[in-house]
């Protein structure tokens, strides 16, 4: 079902929108404050957001900028009084889709939703013509990534626990959110737990909850994330950082779907789908005695391994252009593209921080850029000084690594195994053996 979010403290406006949107087949959430609206948007992806510019706790423009970056596929409609039309126009320049002046009619609501539908269809057709796949915040030309997205969609509606692996910054959180949004749980909460960012006792309380007095500072009962996400999805980021005691408690939950809060003996049963993520090898941690093998098997029902950006170089340009457009809108900049040498430098850099690093570089460059094109002057020194590293021992590669990278490159830029074999000068059977040797999909 299509989803919409209304952020407005005027009850009559909210009611009008709810009635109209529900008649159009939308599932609707609403909030009367900016803080609650942002909370709902993070928990439930919304295809369309109706945002009032004047909210009791914050200016609508302030949270618009956050929404444009964090939820790039949400179409945001500004609700405004006639006296603030100029501000509404500014909001559109910042990335909002359109605005509705108060008072508005159901016909106006229907018309703007039809406009969104037509624009989204045209953008989808353009991406298809360019060979680009876009799902949520994940954008790719890579056949390997497209296969991963296809698998994720296939398993989304199952009850299987999913383990997403890959280096930091490759988009594990985005993929977890997509799996939730594609599933029948999409209208229920999506809740993230940072297993690396909390001390053991705080993590246990955050995940399972606690009773008042369970430990020093527990001044009231707390509902844990598992309970909060009932009927939805809990995303456990960096599961490798869990201590043995929490691993044991999580294992029990995965086996029975029951748990106890800290300081409580009563069992709580919930229907929650677990998606875990890690940037470390759990097999190595099992060997070292730092991760339970039985928990690994419980979590690894389906594993999705996201490749680093350096192994999908065909995606660098489209990602850079996508984020340049978004940050130019957000910062009201006229910059609309890259100089040729800048694109060449971006595509030759290895991106150890993956997509997260690329996004930061593009944001920095957009802010610093004074012209219509982002140039080498706006890139950070560690990227512009790339040539200074050539010839150093740290950049030496083995022949097998060079062969693997070249095979991946050719497979990415050809349409079939037969074509790739001809380009490489080997027969398909040899190519199959080399793909198996190097674990190339």
> Tens of pLDDT along 93-114?
888 898 888 888 889 999 999 9
Same domain, 294 and 147: yes
Q: Output the CA angle 124-188-167, nearest 5 degrees.
A: 60
Residue 383 has pLDDT above 70, yes or no: yes
Q: How far is residue 342's CA from residue 322's CA, in Å, rounded to a whole number?
A: 15
Residue 283 has pLDDT above 90, yes or no: yes
Question: In this structure, is residue 99 part of a structural domain?
Answer: yes
Query: In which domain, by residue range, is 334 found?
Result: 309-392
Same domain, 213 and 349: no
8 Å CB contact between 224 and 282: no
- The answer to whether 300 and 291 are in contact (CB under 8 A) is no
Write the Ramachandran bin of 29: left for phi over 0, alpha for psi from -120 to 50, otherwise beta: beta
What pLDDT does 198 receive? Answer: 83
Q: What is the CATH number of the domain that holds 429?
A: 1.10.10
**Euclidean distance between CA atoms 319 and 133, whole angstroms:** 12
> What pLDDT was estimated at residue 48?
93
Looking at the structure of the chain, the number of domains it has is 4
Helix (H, G, I), strand (E, B) or coil at 181: helix
Taking the C-alpha atoms of residue 199 and residue 216, their distance in angstroms, rounded to an integer, is 14
pLDDT, average across residues 78-84: 74
Residues 294 and 173 in one domain: yes
Examine residue 70 and state whether it is found in any structural domain, yes or no. yes
Which is it for the CA torsion 420, 147, 118, 8, positive or negative?
negative
| Range list of H helices, 314-353 | 316-330, 340-348
The residue whose two tokens read 């159901």 is 106
Judged by phi (left if over 0) then psi (alpha if -120 to 50, else beta), residue 8 lies in: beta
Q: Do residues 29 and 110 share a domain?
A: yes
Reported residue count of the chain is 441
Cα-only R_g, the chain: 24
Note whether 320 and 428 are same-domain residues: no
How wide is the angle at C-alpha 332 spanned by C-alphas 326 and 338, nearest 5°?
Answer: 55
Q: Are residues 62 and 153 in the same domain?
A: no
d(CA 64, CA 92): 10
217-240 per-position pLDDT tens digit: 777 888 889 999 999 999 999 999
Whether residues 288 and 382 share a domain: the answer is no
- CATH number of the domain that 74 lies in? 3.40.50.2300
Give me the percent of the chain exceeding a pLDDT of 90. Answer: 51
403 and 281 in a common domain: no
pLDDT in tens, 147-181: 999 999 999 999 999 999 999 999 999 999 999 99
Tens digits of residue pLDDT in 412-441: 777 788 878 877 878 888 888 888 888 887
Q: Which of 63, 97, 126 is the endpoint of a domain? A: 126
- Whether residues 151 and 280 share a domain: the answer is yes
Q: Judge if 388 and 402 occupy the same domain.
A: no
CA separation, residue 291 to residues 168, 245, 246, 274 (Å): 19, 11, 11, 17
In CATH, what number is assigned to the domain containing residue 371?
1.10.8.60
Distance CA 117, CA 321 (A): 23
Backbone torsions φ then ψ of 278, nearest 5 degrees = -155, 150
Q: Where are the alpha helices (DSSP H) in 300-398?
A: 316-330, 340-348, 354-368, 381-384
pLDDT of residue 397: 66
DSSP 428-439: HHHHHHHHHHHT
């Amino acid at each position: 079902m299509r989803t919409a979010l209304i952020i407005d403290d005027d009850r009559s406006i909210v009611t009008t929108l709810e009635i109209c949107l529900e008649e159009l087949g939308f599932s609707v959430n609403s909030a009367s404050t900016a803080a609650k609206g942002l909370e709902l948007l993070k928990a439930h992806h919304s295809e369309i957001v109706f945002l009032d510019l004047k909210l009791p706790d914050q200016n609508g423009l302030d949270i618009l900028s956050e929404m444009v970056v964090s939820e790039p596929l949400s179409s945001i409609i500004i609700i405004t009084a006639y006296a603030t039309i100029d501000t509404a126009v500014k909001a559109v320049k910042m990335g909002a889709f359109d605005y509705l002046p108060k008072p508005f009619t159901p016909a106006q609501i229907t018309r703007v939703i039809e406009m969104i539908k037509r624009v989204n269809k045209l953008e989808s057709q353009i991406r298809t013509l360019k060979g680009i796949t876009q799902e949520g915040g994940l954008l790719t030309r890579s056949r390997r990534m497209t296969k991963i997205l296809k698998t994720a969609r296939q398993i989304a509606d199952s009850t299987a626990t999913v383990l997403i692996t890959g280096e930091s910054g490759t988009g594990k959180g985005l993929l977890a959110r997509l799996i939730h949004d594609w599933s029948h749980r999409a209208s229920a909460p999506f809740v993230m737990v940072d297993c690396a960012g909390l001390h053991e006792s705080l993590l246990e309380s955050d995940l399972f909850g606690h009773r008042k007095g369970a430990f020093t500072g527990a001044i009231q009962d707390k509902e844990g994330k598992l309970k909060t996400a009932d009927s939805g999805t809990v995303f456990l980021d960096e599961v490798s950082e869990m201590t043995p005691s929490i691993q044991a408690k999580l294992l029990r939950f995965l086996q029975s779907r029951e748990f106890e809060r800290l300081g409580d003996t009563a069992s709580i049963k919930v229907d929650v789908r677990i998606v875990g993520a890690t940037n470390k090898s759990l097999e190595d941690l099992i060997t070292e005695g730092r991760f339970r093998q039985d928990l690994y098997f419980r979590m690894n029902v389906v594993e999705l391994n996201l490749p680093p950006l350096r192994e999908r170089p065909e995606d660098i340009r489209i990602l850079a252009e996508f984020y340049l457009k978004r940050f130019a809108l957000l910062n009201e900049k006229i910059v609309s593209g890259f100089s040729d040498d800048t694109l060449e430098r971006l595509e030759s850099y290895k991106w150890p921080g993956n997509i997260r690093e690329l996004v930061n570089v593009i944001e920095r460059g957009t802010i610093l850029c004074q012209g219509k094109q982002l140039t080498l002057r706006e890139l950070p020194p560690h990227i512009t000084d790339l040539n200074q590293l050539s010839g150093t021992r740290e950049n030496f590669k083995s022949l097998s690594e060079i062969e693997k990278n070249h095979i991946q490159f050719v497979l990415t830029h050809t349409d079939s195994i037969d074509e790739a074999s001809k380009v490489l000068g080997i027969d398909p059977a040899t190519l199959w053996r080399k793909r198996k040797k190097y674990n190339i999909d």
